[in-house]
Amino acid sequence: MNALDTLRALATQGEVREFAPGDPIFKAGESGDCMFGLLQGSVQLSWNGEAGHEQIKEGDVFGAGALVTSDHRRYGNATAISPCTILVMNREKFLFAIQESPMFAIELLSSIDQRLRQLKDCLR
């Protein structure tokens, strides 16, 4: 099972939201208490006045900092590029997901690691 399969399985028990192209998912400075898993579509993350950006693909998660930081404020903006289906996970649902599917934690870390490596390569 890969990250997208795990997110789809979790979606049957979680909150799923739909976004149209151009819809904001969150904005910089907003309070955050959940992370997002992209089930379908693509999302643009941007920061530093749009100077930095990254495209999130199906199976990736974003906004995970909200689960580990109290009084979290979103660092950047997340905007739907195409029609999107997104799983919303608060800390309680995230901990349940890890308990039920420990590989989800590994998949999540792998996804974040790959994204950080790609960003690092882009900054060279």
10-residue averages of pLDDT along the chain (124 residues) = 76 87 95 93 86 85 86 92 95 85 83 77 62
Closest residue by Cα to residue 34 from 16, 47, 59, 22: 16
Token pair 């934690």 is at which residue?
Answer: 105
pLDDT at 94: 86
Q: What is the pLDDT of residue 23?
A: 98
What integer pLDDT is reported at residue 123 of this predicted model? 60
Contact 30, 78 (CB under 8 A): no
Q: Tokens standing for 26?
A: 């969150």
Question: Global pTM?
Answer: 0.85
What residue segments make up the domains of the chain, in order of their start? 3-119
Give dist(CA 76, CA 68) in Å, integer. 17
Report DSSP state, residue 124.
-
Question: Which CATH fold would you assign to the domain 3-119?
Answer: Jelly Rolls (2.60.120)
